[in-house]
């Protein structure tokens, strides 16, 4: 034991003498090690921060969030995405009535437009939705209120602004009660959404949008009868898969698609998006 301690002391002493004789080389070696370790720490920290930021954005979609959107179709023996949607408002109504694992459902349509308020204008995306939208997206109204079921039934020209849109069109913060023109159609602002923060794929700002009754967007801005997609939320996070299975079976039945055949719709849950991001 004593010999081992003596040997270790001698090795340490020799090492210190070597460092003392080669101060410049020793300093450069230490500097290289310090820089290398520092770079590794910084890279790991940046990666962890970016991963957490992406995860927070995905979680902001809503914990039970499920999207149903158009899938591929077969035409002339060839299968591919046609850009056409076979989803209907009646599909959304049927999901709400016949899928017990689903708590909230909203038909969805989307368009882009230049929005004008007084002398200011802002290009943004316009979402047409139902009254369940705030519950599906877990998104509260910061000012005013969300539109009502009556607004959806009669296609009232009202809208709710995302925070970015409100900041750009009404810098004074007095958006509620004001009128904006979307594709030259006047809409009354009934509310402003809380700031969601973060961004989705491609750096798209979640707060840069306007939400209006889907009936209004379809009739006043698009002139179409089919919806672009359906948003849904399961009754609890534990019932997401159950809700997906119920909706898949119902839509196959309504669209006359045999079990095992490729459907004309796709379905993605917030959980699947989060798992893909984590990978």
Name the average pLDDT for the chain.
83
Judge if 158 and 205 occupy the same domain.
yes
Residue 276 — pLDDT band, cuts 50, 70, 90?
Answer: very low
Residues 85, 50: Cα–Cα separation, whole Å:
35
Task: Tally Cβ neighbours within 10 Å of residue 208.
Answer: 18
One domain for residues 41 and 70: no
Say whether both 27 and 102 belong to one domain: no
Q: What is the mean pLDDT of residues 248-275?
A: 83
- The residue out of 20, 39, 58 marking a domain boundary is 58
Find the domain containing 39 and state its range.
2-58
Rounded distance, CA 160 to CA 167, Å?
13
Same domain, 101 and 190: yes
- How many Cβ atoms are within 10 Å of 256's Cβ, its own excluded? 8
Instruction: Say if residue 113 is in the same domain as residue 250.
Output: yes
Q: Whole-model pTM?
A: 0.74
Are residue 211 and residue 82 in the same domain, yes or no? yes
Both 202 and 266 in a single domain? yes
Identify whether residues 42 and 115 lie together within a single domain.
no
Residue 32 confidence (pLDDT): 77
């Amino acid at each position: 034991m004593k010999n081992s301690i003596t040997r270790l002391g001698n090795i340490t002493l020799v090492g210190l003498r070597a460092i003392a004789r080669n101060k410049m080389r020793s300093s450069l070696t230490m500097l290289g090690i310090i820089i290398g370790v520092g770079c590794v720490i910084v890279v790991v920290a940046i990666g962890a921060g970016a991963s957490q930021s992406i995860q927070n954005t995905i979680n902001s979609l809503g914990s039970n969030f499920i999207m149903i959107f158009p899938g591929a179709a077969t035409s002339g023996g060839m299968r591919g995405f046609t850009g056409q949607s076979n989803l209907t408002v009646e599909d959304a109504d049927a999901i709400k009535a016949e899928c017990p694992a689903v708590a909230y459902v909203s038909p969805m349509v989307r368009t882009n437009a230049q929005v004008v308020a007084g002398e200011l204008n802002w290009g943004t995306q316009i979402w047409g939705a139902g009254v369940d939208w705030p519950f599906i997206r877990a998104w509260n109204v910061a000012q005013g209120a969300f539109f009502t079921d009556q607004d959806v039934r009669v296609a009232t020209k009202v809208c709710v602004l995302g925070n970015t849109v409100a900041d750009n069109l009404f810098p004074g913060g007095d958006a509620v009660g004001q009128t904006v023109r979307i594709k030259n159609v006047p809409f009354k602002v009934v509310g402003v959404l809380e700031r969601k923060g973060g961004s989705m794929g491609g750096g798209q700002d979640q707060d840069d949008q306007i939400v209006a009754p889907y009936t209004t967007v379809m009739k006043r801005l698009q002139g179409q009868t089919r919806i672009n997609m359906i948003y849904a939320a399961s009754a609890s996070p534990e019932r997401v898969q159950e809700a997906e299975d119920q909706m898949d079976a119902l839509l196959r039945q309504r669209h006359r698609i045999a079990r095992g055949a490729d459907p004309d719709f796709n379905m993605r849950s917030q959980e699947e998006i989060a798992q893909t991001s984590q990978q």
